[in-house]
Structure formats: C-alpha cells, structure tokens
Amino acid sequence: MSAIGVAVIGAFGRMGRTVCEAVDAAEDLELVARVGEEDDVEALASTGARVGVDFTVPAVTEANVHALLDAGLHAVVGTTGWTEESLGRVREHLEQVNAHRSEPLGVVVAPNFALSAVLAMHFAAQAARYFTSAEVIEMHHPDKVDAPSGTALATARHIAAARQEAGLGPVPDATETQVDGARGAVVDGVHVHAVRLRGLVAHEEILLGNPGEQLTIRTDSFQRDSFMPGVLLAVRQVLGRPGLTIGLEHLLDL
Ligand SMILES: NC(=O)C1=CN([C@@H]2O[C@H](COP(=O)(O)OP(=O)(O)OC[C@H]3O[C@@H](n4cnc5c(N)ncnc54)[C@H](O)[C@@H]3O)[C@@H](O)[C@H]2O)C=CC1
Ligand SMILES: O=C(O)C1=N[C@H](C(=O)O)C[C@H](O)C1
C-alpha cells in the first residue's frame, strides 16, 4: 500500500518541526510539504498530500482548515484558540464539501495529543461529580502565546459539564476582596490559573477537594515527542472519520 502523503503547516515552529520528524520516521507516511507563513495552503492540492497537519497560531488556524478542505485534504489540528463558532463554521464547510465527494473529508481538532493529558482530562471529568471544589492549574513555557491553554479550557469545560449533570452548585469561594486576577480566569464556573515559567514545556494539575481530602490529577509533557503518537494516530484515522471530531479521546475509545 502506498504511504499517506502529509503536509505540515507551521512546519518551522516548535511543534511543526517535531511533527515533520515524526512523519519522516513513519514508514506508512510520507512528508510531502513543509508549509510556512509565506506559503499558500490551497497549493497543497497538487503535492499529493492527503492530510494537512496544522500547528500554527490561533489567529490563522481556522482559515488554514478551510483552505485545506477547499484543496481536498483531510485536516488534523493541534493549534489552540477554537471556539464553538469557529468549529461550527468548519462543520458546515465539511457538510458542503462532503456532499460532492465520494471520499468524504474529515477534520480532527484536539487541544492536546499527549496520552497523559487526554487521560487526565478524562479522569478529571469522571471524578468531578464526587468533589465540592475543582480548580485547574496549567503551567507552560513562556513563549506560549495563549492563556489559558486549550487543554485547560477543555478540562474546565468537561469538569463543569460533569458538575452540572450531577446537580452540583457553584464551587465554594468566600473571596470578597482581591487583587484583580488573583483567583485566575473563570471558565464555566471553574477557576483556571496559568503559570508561565522558563524550563517548563506543558503541564497541568487538576485539584479536586472535599472536606478533609484532595485528589490531584497531574499530567506532564517534558518533551514535544509526547504529542507525536497522538498526532500520528489522528493522521491515520482521519481518513476514515468523515466530519468533525473534537478531542483525541474519541480516537482512543475513552
Ligand atoms: N494539540 C496539542 O497537542 C498541542 C498544541 N499546541 C499548540 O500548537 C500551536 C503551535 O505551538 P508551537 O509550535 O509551540 O508554536 P510556534 O510559535 O513555535 O510555531 C507556530 C508556527 O506557525 C507559523 N505560522 C504562523 N502563521 C502561519 C501561517 N499562516 N501559515 C503557516 N505557518 C504559520 C509560525 O511561523 C511558527 O513557525 C499553539 O496553538 C499551541 O498551543 C502545542 C503543543 C501541543
Ligand atoms: O503551546 C503549547 O506548548 C501547548 N499548547 C496546547 C494547549 O494550549 O493546551 C497543548 C499543550 O498544553 C502544549
């Protein structure tokens, strides 16, 4: 069987370079294009690429995905910054293009491709209904442009959904006076704190508290290699997953 042609968008960034190496090293994949800021994503139609992998910046990732779909490519996206609205536009675009195609296109968007992070989010959502308090602390390298991290946003939203389903009320918090920002950002009622520190890569702690006890769930990516098994899994599976898939957990049957 011939190798799957892969184009990497954001190929000269931290994640893009690591993805290029991982694709190069995989026997069933062929790296056919490295796309930088000056390159045209729609031109990928003539490169033999079947899947485009996007690790760029929040400001451009949605436009890149639309351009990939217009060029007839599947997309795997790790870039953060997605909203319900931007995901909705991709869903609509997929419906339009797939109505005219014999091989329907798929898009996988995941805030984190590391197995430890995906499991941490999953376990946190499972545990959330048993705890009165829940807070998320994400810790990253200081070159990261967005805060809080996409992973922390997703974690907080999963926790909030689990709390709501279990009928839990707001987390207890008697804070009345504070320095602005001292309690972090509040995402669907869950406080999220962002640390930026030289030496870190990508880390997250989920703190769950009850009277007299605490559960801490922690994930650490010490190297960007940690994201690669998930990225390659998504590249291989997106070919058989028409439409929009949000989160690696769906590819892991969690
Ligand atoms: N889902 C996941 O598992 C992970 C997601 N990320 C996310 O991936 C994104 C990238 O992270 P890093 O690689 O650390 O950032 P980076 O800043 O090192 O790389 C971004 C690259 O995108 C390029 N770029 C910007 N606009 C472009 C365009 N229009 N076309 C092509 N390339 C363009 C930049 O020149 C740069 O080389 C961030 O949103 C980050 O949060 C990072 C690690 C893991
Ligand atoms: O920018 C990063 O480095 C990371 N970004 C993603 C996020 O915002 O969640 C994934 C991981 O945390 C690394």
**DSSP assignment of 174-221:** ---S--TTTT-EEETTEEEEEEE-TT--EEEEEEEEETTEEEEEEEEE
Ligand 2 lined by 230 (C-beta under 6 Å): no
- The ligand whose atoms approach the alpha carbon of 110 most closely is 1
Catalytic residue among 140, 158, 193, 203: 140
Residue 177 has pLDDT above 80, yes or no: no
- Report the separation in Å between the CA atom of 84 and the middle of ligand 2, taken as the mean of its atom positions: 19
CA–CA gap between residue 31 and residue 93 (Å, rounded): 26
* 11-32: pLDDT as tens digits: 999 999 999 999 999 999 999 9
Residue type, 25: A
- Give the start-end residues of each E strand in the chain: 4-9, 29-35, 51-54, 74-77, 106-109, 133-140, 185-187, 190-196, 202-210, 213-221, 243-246
Question: Tell me: the pLDDT tens digits for 196-212?
Answer: 999 999 999 999 999 99
Q: What is the pTM of this model?
A: 0.97
Q: Residue 1: pLDDT above 80? A: no
Q: How many CB atoms lie within 10 A of CB 119?
A: 15
ipTM confidence score = 0.99
pLDDT tens-digit readout, 54-95: 999 999 999 999 999 999 999 999 999 999 999 999 999 999
